[in-house]
Amino acid sequence: MLRSGIASVYAAKKTANGEYCPRHAYTAAHKTLPFGTFVQVTTKRTDGTSSSASNDRGPFVAGRVIDLTPAGAKAIGSDGLTHVELTVLGKIRAPRRTVPTGG
């Protein structure tokens, strides 16, 4: 899936999935992607690319397709609004839990 539009920068204290969102995290807000979906964000202005996991809802401004944390925006060379293309990379999988078997 490829989508283009405007990315903005945001920092939420608490996200829609209940997590705390530090400014240095590579997470993002998207209107419809399931939480935990990994998205590649690319801007042609700087040729910057980064990957972020969706964990919040938004942006709620017409024409914007994703809100990035300051770290995610910095990784693509942006500190404000920039035109981006989004590519869904897949769902983040929780690590498998191992149960000790003794011995």
Q: What is the DSSP code (8-state) at residue 87?
A: E
* Single-letter residue type at 34: P
Nearest residue to 41 (alpha-carbon basis) of 15, 72, 10: 72
Look at 25-34, 36-45, 61-70, 92-101 and tell me which has the smallest mean pLDDT. Answer: 92-101
Q: Does the structure show a pLDDT above 90 at 20?
A: no
Q: Residue 21 has what pLDDT? A: 80
Q: Does the structure show a pLDDT above 80 at 33?
A: yes
End-to-end, the C-alpha distance of the chain in Å comes to 48
Q: What is the mean pLDDT of the chain?
A: 86
Q: Does the structure show a pLDDT above 70 at 68?
A: yes
Domains of the chain: 2-91 (2.40.40.10)
Name residue, tokens 């925006």.
73
Q: Residue 82 has what pLDDT? A: 95
